[in-house]
Structure 1
Amino acid sequence: MIRAAQQDLGAERVGFDFEQDSPGPLIDNSKELVDAIRDIDQVRAEYQERFDRFHHLFCDLDDGNASARVVDRMIEQAREG
């Protein structure tokens, strides 16, 4: 993640501690970005645990079944009353 994005938005607007919870490296400049892209397999391996934690904290319902859950809940509520 590019550190400048956090600085521009401010931590309160991002909604989480960017330094602690970002799912990947915090990148300060174009050279670091290019280096990370060139060595993406190493970056992926190094940050897999952080990515998994981020996904668990912020994306746990992104499983392709959100619409089904909404419809199921609507049907359930209609039956109740």
Structure 2
Amino acid sequence: MWRSVPLYNIVLEKILDKVRKNNNNIRDDDLFKEIKDSVNYEISYNDFLKALMALEIRGYISVSLIKENLRMITYLGDKE
């Protein structure tokens, strides 16, 4: 299914919502659940990780591995 908004934009929007609520660090499993609940189409975990990688490459976020399958996402700020 075609998406009208790219997945990485949706992920960044959810991260910004969390940052505004004073949660600078977000676990990837919590963020994935929140995104799946907010969109009306199926998102695979692999596509979610690709979106995180795209945001990290662009310099918006930093992703750190906490455990084997648990990541911590930190918002770095807007690019200028």
* Fold agreement, TM-score > 0.5: no
Q: Which has the larger radius of gyration?
A: 1
Higher normalized helix content (fraction of residues):
1
* Range of TM-score over shorter length: under 0.3
Query: Normalising by the residue count of structure 2, what TM-score does the alignment of the two structures yield?
Result: 0.25
Query: Normalising by the residue count of structure 1, what TM-score does the alignment of the two structures yield?
Result: 0.25
